[in-house]
């Protein structure tokens, strides 16, 4: 461990880092998302125009990334609550993180087609 | 065996009854110098809010993602007509309103923590938080206004 740092590495620190990074990213998206939704008060065309951007392949892939960030933040958040409120939480925090990672991988695999179906169908035909 | 039963105040120990171990002040202990205005349990309630709102948001946000991005063709179906259909129901209006408020406050409090952790200069920290609070109030009010004043026959 380098001198002059309190960072301990391993599951505890890296899950904390990932929780921060995903949290900040989600907050910035939320800000933009409220602004784009506010366009329904301008005109149906203005709203549908900006939603068309959400249907392009690149942004559709970013939506899969958004789901990935939110899903990790949600699952790890439940783990943080368990660490804080469950008497054995701190003892099992590592096992709980790997459970979070496992559930995340399964749900992300399950979300792959539903989230990206728009792009998959437009790029590779019906 | 004898080492385990040796009293603490043996010849090699630094401390005894006349020379007790120094008292270490607890981190962030409130002292006479602590400003009176910070002597509340705000941080405790903030900590509790993050956990309570987090549990509610898991349901609201994951349900939102499922409906908007996965079911019925994923993002393909989204458009003005789809929004109008959903906000015709008070249930989904309430869902979106509660989700907006909880998510914005949860996110703003999270970013406040991040700013407090990394912005070291007092001025930088102050202005970053003012920017954050301004953006948060603006976004919450705008979103609330949009949900309450939505007009499906705008055109």
The residue extents of the domains of chain A are 11-123
- Does B103 reach chain A within 8 Å, measured CB to CB? yes
| DSSP designation for A124 | S
Using an 8 Å CB-CB cutoff, list chain B residues near A74.
54, 57-58, 61-62
Class of domain B35-149: mainly alpha
Q: How many residues does chain A have?
A: 126
- Cβ of B75 within 8 Å of Cβ of A84? The answer is no
**Would you say residue B15 has pLDDT above 60?**
yes
* Residue A118 · residue A60 · CB < 8 Å: yes
Q: What is the pLDDT of residue A66?
A: 97
Q: What is the pLDDT of residue A125?
A: 76
Using an 8 Å CB-CB cutoff, list chain A residues near B155.
43-44
- Cβ of B80 within 8 Å of Cβ of A40? The answer is yes
Distance of CA B125 to the CA centre of its chain: 17
Using an 8 Å CB-CB cutoff, list chain B residues near A23.
107, 110-111, 114
Q: Is A52 helix (H, G, I), strand (E, B) or coil?
A: helix
- Cβ of B107 within 8 Å of Cβ of A74? The answer is no
Q: What is the pLDDT of residue A2?
A: 55
Cβ-based neighbour number of residue B61 at 10 Å:
21
- Cβ of A77 within 8 Å of Cβ of B54? The answer is yes
Joined together, the tokens standing for residue A33 give 């998302």
User: What's the complex ipTM?
Assistant: 0.90
**SS3 for A107-119, per residue?**
HHHHHHHHHHHHH
User: Minimal CA–CA distance to A103: which of B58, B73, B103, B71?
Assistant: B58
User: Minimal CA–CA distance to B70: which of A28, A20, A71?
Assistant: A71
- Does A104 reach chain B within 8 Å, measured CB to CB? no
Question: CA B144 → CA B8, B68, B98, distances in Å?
Answer: 65, 19, 10
CATH, domain A11-123, list 2.60.40.10, 1.20.1300.10, 3.40.50.2300, 3.30.300.30: 1.20.1300.10
- Cβ of A115 within 8 Å of Cβ of B74? The answer is yes
Q: What is the pLDDT of residue B133?
A: 97
**Would you say residue A126 has pLDDT above 90?**
no
User: Minimal CA–CA distance to B143: which of A42, A37, A43?
Assistant: A37
**Measured between CB atoms, which of B55, B61, B74 is closest to A118?**
B74
Q: Is A12 helix (H, G, I), strand (E, B) or coil?
A: helix
| DSSP designation for A39 | G
What is the model's pTM?
0.84
Q: In chain B, which among 16-35 make CB contacts under 8 A with chain A?
A: none
**Would you say residue A46 has pLDDT above 60?**
yes
Could you report the per-residue pLDDT of B86-133, keeping only the tens digit for each?
999 999 999 999 999 999 999 999 999 999 999 989 999 999 999 999
Average pLDDT over residues B21-29: 75
* Residue A58 · residue A51 · CB < 8 Å: no
Q: State the pLDDT confidence band at B2, using cuts at 50, 70 and 90.
A: very low
For B12, half-sphere exposure in the C-beta direction (CA atoms, 13 angstrom radius) is 3
Average pLDDT over residues A74-92: 95
User: Minimal CA–CA distance to A57: which of A125, A126, A111, A118?
Assistant: A118
Joined together, the tokens standing for residue A99 give 């459970």
Q: Which of A39-43, A45-49, A91-95, B2-6 has the lowest mean pLDDT?
A: B2-6
Residue tagged 């949860």 (tokens): B106
List, as one string, the DSSP characters of chain B.
-HHHHS-TTSTT-S--SSSPPPPPPPTT---TTS-GGG-SSHHHHHHHHHHHHHHHHHHHHHHHHIIIIISTTGGGG-SHHHHHHHHTSHHHHHHHHHHHHHHHHHHHHHHHHHHHHH--SHHHHHHHHHHHHHHHHHHHHHHHHHHHH--TT--
Using an 8 Å CB-CB cutoff, list chain B residues near A78.
54-55, 58
Q: Is the C-alpha dihedral spanning B85, B91, B97, B102 positive or negative?
A: negative
């Amino acid at each position: 461990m380098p001198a002059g740092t309190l960072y301990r590495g391993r599951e505890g620190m890296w899950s904390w880092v990932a929780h921060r990074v995903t949290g900040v990213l989600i907050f910035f998206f939320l800000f933009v998302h409220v602004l784009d939704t506010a366009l329904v008060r301008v005109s149906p065309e203005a709203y549908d125009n900006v939603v068309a951007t959400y249907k392009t392949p690149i942004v559709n892939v970013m939506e899969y990334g958004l789901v990935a960030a939110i899903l990790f933040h949600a699952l790890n958040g439940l783990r943080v609550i368990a660490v804080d409120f469950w008497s054995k939480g701190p003892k099992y925090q590592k096992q709980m993180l790997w459970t979070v990672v496992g559930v995340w991988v399964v749900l992300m695999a399950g979300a792959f087609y539903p989230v990206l179906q728009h792009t998959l169908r437009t790029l590779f035909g019906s | 065996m004898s080492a385990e039963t040796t009293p603490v105040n043996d010849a090699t120990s630094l401390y005894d009854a006349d020379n007790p171990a120094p008292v270490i002040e607890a981190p962030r202990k409130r002292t006479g110098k602590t400003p009176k205005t910070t002597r509340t349990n705000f941080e405790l309630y903030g900590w509790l809010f993050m956990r309570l709102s987090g549990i509610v948001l898991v349901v609201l946000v994951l349900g939102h993602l499922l409906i908007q991005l996965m079911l019925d063709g994923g993002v393909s179906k989204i458009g003005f007509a789809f929004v109008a259909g959903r906000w015709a129901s008070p249930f989904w209006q309430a869902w979106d309103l509660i989700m907006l408020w909880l998510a914005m406050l949860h996110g703003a409090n999270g970013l406040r923590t991040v700013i407090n952790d990394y912005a070291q200069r007092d001025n930088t920290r102050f202005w970053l938080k003012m920017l954050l609070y301004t953006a948060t109030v603006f976004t919450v009010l705008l979103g609330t206004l949009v949900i309450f004043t939505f007009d499906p026959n705008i055109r």
